[in-house]
Structure 1
């Protein structure tokens, strides 16, 4: 994986001492929705008050970031890293990998932790490239002609060149900034280049960049933004598909057993999502803030302390969840057919063996992300996802375990995830932020819980709006429940494309807003919206044209295939609005207004979509198509409301707020 969106402008107020903040802030629900709310700062302030610098693991930058290429003896250069820190790169975070639909947490803001050398270099390259595209620096390749020759080359340049068109009048042309590091000299210096030279190069680039921004000379093109967002999205799409394959494999394996088994898997997954996975992921999103702020403060072992504290809390939460899962059969039997309830309860009892590992992995994922190690979870999934597919085939079919084999494969895979991540941290990178087990992890839970609860509420609310359709379809009949399982799997799989796109757009818009490039941010937003529409239309075409072929991948039951084929056109239309809504969520996050998106989701889903779904599905007896029409209309309404809000927002004010908060931070 590589990335996700994080850079929205959020207030960053530094603690003035070791004590906490005023209760008026701490008790504010709105403030607690913010990554940099005083609740997060209160947790860090309390922890810092309990430890000396040596206890907290305060070291110089290179010891905190050994993988960044530092040698540990560059203190003089590292002292002012923050002062000359990048303005065009923000770490992605705040992603809750849903077993059905991933969702954006309410995580970190612009006050991100210290970046590694590789990340700072990436930012420098982005700044230098933008200056070249605006003709403020000499071209990188001097041998290339500035004017295209020939019709083909002219058309190619017009379509794919990232350079801003030059003004026709020399009088209007911006003055070129000629002070630049030599292309033949490494940015960080070499054995033959004085170390201070690289530092001076950075200072020159800062001066060039700030001068160009102040003069309003930095523009961007749709070609550059399309290229940037595509690069941001590609690894995310791979990671999300790998993550989602852990559930799709079970659906594929069980679907061939029969209609009853297929519906039971969908029902069990829905119950697990609402009662366990969504609460755990929602609570864990608070670590996007807590771990990141602890790491950015330089107290690296406090990252491990935050991980321990949240892990203990999540494991305690699993006690009542376990009681519910062990008694799930009589509870489910009151709502759906008894045979489906029994199979679903069996699934839950077996997957309960993997629930503690699931909680460990969710916390561990935030632990490595806070250190900038975003590829760690991708490497883990590259091993776990293929192994999960093999185990589903082995347990369900080869060994003849049947239905029971699917939850066994899920439990084994969930236990693999934290083990593989632990091996990565131990043998590759990330162990520097682990300070060992501490008794302090059993204290200071109050602010952490208050910070985590809003994230849990938003994630659970978003998931429940979709999962409730599964429960409703179970009241129609066994075949409808099986068809619903196929529909949810298909639409959730296609969602793995627009959602990464929204994260990429969120990240890019937030970066440009943070760099005070409002016009460029708007251009990037337009490109992201167009990308969302294109992806949505692709999904529409795919589902509509293959509506009779897709269900055959899951089941051979003629009745289920017919139900799916009859409902897929509605789901196909939903794809367009789903992609647009995903992008609008990302843009709201990019401009720091994600709270509005949370409220819009709640209103549109629960006051509009679900009532329409039940009215059409049961009142007019339209059944599954009626249920999905309500959700489609809800997504359309969400898109309209959020795009209207984005259009009406004062982006210049957003940029000014981000500038003030960065200065205060």
Structure 2
């Protein structure tokens, strides 16, 4: 009997030790994954804050030049540049898929070739988009804008053509560096760009009174300085394993890259344009001025928070693609879980914060009591948007990492444009809920999209995704024996 009790006690003790060991292992795994997550997410969030900050700084200094100039810049920024940014950012996310999976599969030499292929595809796309900037004035007049605002907007749009090409370099270099977790350089360059932008904006617009050209010159510098720094870092030995110099192989297998880039562009565009449609629909409401002011404040806050979400989107894409390329389906699933829970925790804290402060946040942007009350009414919707934004972009990042862009594009079309917007129109116009109804409808579209992506992610055979990722890498790989050397010639085996 005593021996039996000893055996039972020994078994219980061994079981307790196994549980403690499992807890230690799980805790260690979470710590390791969190470190890998924040290595990508931290710089990505800061860089996106910086890009958003450049726009805000430009808008602030242009506002001191004149009301017409401010309205024109806001119009071009909201309509034209957001449209172009959606296309280029979306298409560059194809590079995130390819680089992440190749890096995980230890085919580091392919990252430089993928980067060059992406430069070719996005440059061609940018050349196609140039007429939008050249014809901005007549297009805006056709949309009913005042001649004075449309004329200045057309002038500003010409200055933004080099900004569009800056985005080509910026977005692609970010994806390339993120895939190999070498993106700390982006923080230093983004911080330097912000400081330089403030200094030059003050010098050129306030001190020397160069007006609109001065503000736009500073904007160009703020967008190109980080690019020059990133290119120097890549070309001058910062990425010795992945950058082997320019190669003719960049022109090989362009069509698959174009197809993946188009589906990626469509997926991201449909998400970024969604809020723009909300603003357009609000413009036709009763008391539209107050509604648009209140909505703009909410969307401005939402825009800042969205930079955090986009950082987690990038992190999810990199971690999933790296693990799939490495051949570990378990690690890919674990990284998804950790990323979703981390982002959701931050989103929940912000959800509670915005529910608590409600209309008081409006006084940061306005002195109008009426607008503040409108913001207070919209604050619960803003809080819900932020909570959804903490999950939905992460799932989109998972899709980027796995290469599901075309699937998610169809999901976005169905959820956003066949459910969200029609529901918003019905609730806003027919049920007379005004801007609240439009936002509720569009939130429901986002909620449906999030649920669908959760179901897809949970039901996915991740072992099969590992096979597909490795097949993609093998199909497009250039043998190391023929990779390019630093002198621009091809080394034969």
How much does 1:661 deviate? 8.2
How much does 1:543 deviate? 2.2
Who is 2:264 aligned against? Answer: 455
Is the 1:462–1:601 Cα contact (8 Å) retained in structure 2? yes
Gap change, CA 1:308 and 1:661, over 3 Å in 2: closer
Q: CA RMSD in A?
A: 4.5
CA distance in 2, matches of 1:319, 1:399: 31
Is the 1:539–1:575 Cα contact (8 Å) retained in structure 2? yes
Who is 2:47 aligned against? Answer: 239
How much does 1:605 deviate? 0.7
2:95 equivalent to 1:284: no
Gap change, CA 1:170 and 1:448, over 3 Å in 2: closer
- Pairs within 5 Å for 1:26-425: 168-169=13-14, 220-221=25-26, 224-225=29-30, 228-229=33-34, 232-233=37-38, 234-253=42-61, 265-288=73-96, 296=107, 298=109, 302=113, 305-306=116-117, 309-310=120-121, 312-333=123-144, 341=150, 344-366=153-175, 373-394=182-203, 407-425=216-234
2:346 equivalent to 1:538: no
Gap change, CA 1:376 and 1:327, over 3 Å in 2: farther
Is the 1:263–1:478 Cα contact (8 Å) retained in structure 2? no
Is the 2:294–2:371 Cα contact (8 Å) retained in structure 1? yes
CA distance in 1, matches of 2:318, 2:433: 41
How much does 1:237 deviate? 2.9
Q: Give the secondary-structure state (helix, strand or coil) at the position aligned to 1:413.
A: helix
Q: Between Structure 1 and Structure 2, whose CA radius of gyration is higher? A: 1
How much does 1:555 deviate? 4.0
What TM-score results when the alignment is normalised by the length of structure 2?
Answer: 0.73
Who is 1:212 aligned against? Answer: none
Give the length in aligned residue pairs.
456
Gap change, CA 1:430 and 1:657, over 3 Å in 2: closer
Of residues 433, 440, 443, the one that matches 2:243 is: 433
Gap change, CA 1:446 and 1:580, over 3 Å in 2: closer
Gap change, CA 1:173 and 1:661, over 3 Å in 2: farther
Gap change, CA 1:327 and 1:434, over 3 Å in 2: farther
Who is 2:489 aligned against? Answer: none
How much does 1:606 deviate? 0.7
Gap change, CA 1:649 and 1:435, over 3 Å in 2: closer
Deviations 1:400-421 (A, max 9, x none): 6677765554333223333333
CA distance in 2, matches of 1:330, 1:426: 45
Gap change, CA 1:516 and 1:596, over 3 Å in 2: same
Q: Give the secondary-structure state (helix, strand or coil) at the position aligned to 1:421.
A: helix
Who is 1:497 aligned against? Answer: 308
CA distance in 2, matches of 1:414, 1:502: 22
Is the 2:136–2:150 Cα contact (8 Å) retained in structure 1? no
Higher deviation after alignment, 259-268 or 493-502 = 259-268
Of residues 276, 281, 285, the one that matches 1:467 is: 276
Gap change, CA 1:173 and 1:435, over 3 Å in 2: closer
How much does 1:628 deviate? 2.0
CA distance in 2, matches of 1:526, 1:291: 22
Who is 2:456 aligned against? Answer: 645
CA distance in 2, matches of 1:472, 1:384: 35
Q: Give the secondary-structure state (helix, strand or coil) at the position aligned to 1:296.
A: coil
Is the 1:304–1:434 Cα contact (8 Å) retained in structure 2? no
Who is 1:585 aligned against? Answer: 396
Gap change, CA 1:390 and 1:604, over 3 Å in 2: farther
Gap change, CA 1:426 and 1:260, over 3 Å in 2: same
How much does 1:454 deviate? 1.8
Who is 1:624 aligned against? Answer: 435
Higher deviation after alignment, 578-587 or 484-493 = 578-587
Who is 2:382 aligned against? Answer: 571
Unaligned stretches of 5+ residues in structure 2: 1-10, 478-493
CA distance in 1, matches of 2:87, 2:443: 25
How much does 1:571 deviate? 0.9
Who is 1:607 aligned against? Answer: 418
Q: Give the secondary-structure state (helix, strand or coil) at the position aligned to 1:169.
A: helix
Gap change, CA 1:304 and 1:649, over 3 Å in 2: closer
Q: Give the secondary-structure state (helix, strand or coil) at the position aligned to 2:307.
A: coil
CA distance in 2, matches of 1:368, 1:525: 21
How much does 1:359 deviate? 2.7
- Pairs within 5 Å for 1:477-492: 477-492=288-303
Gap change, CA 1:407 and 1:235, over 3 Å in 2: same
CA distance in 2, matches of 1:258, 1:480: 24
Gap change, CA 1:344 and 1:227, over 3 Å in 2: farther
Deviations 1:82-115 (A, max 9, x none): xxxxxxxxxxxxxxxxxxxxxxxxxxxxxxxxxx
Deviations 1:491-512 (A, max 9, x none): 0211233443454455556666
Is the 1:300–1:433 Cα contact (8 Å) retained in structure 2? yes
CA distance in 1, matches of 2:25, 2:36: 16
Is the 2:415–2:448 Cα contact (8 Å) retained in structure 1? yes
Gap change, CA 1:389 and 1:561, over 3 Å in 2: farther
- Pairs within 5 Å for 1:1-40: none
Of residues 636, 645, 659, the one that matches 2:447 is: 636
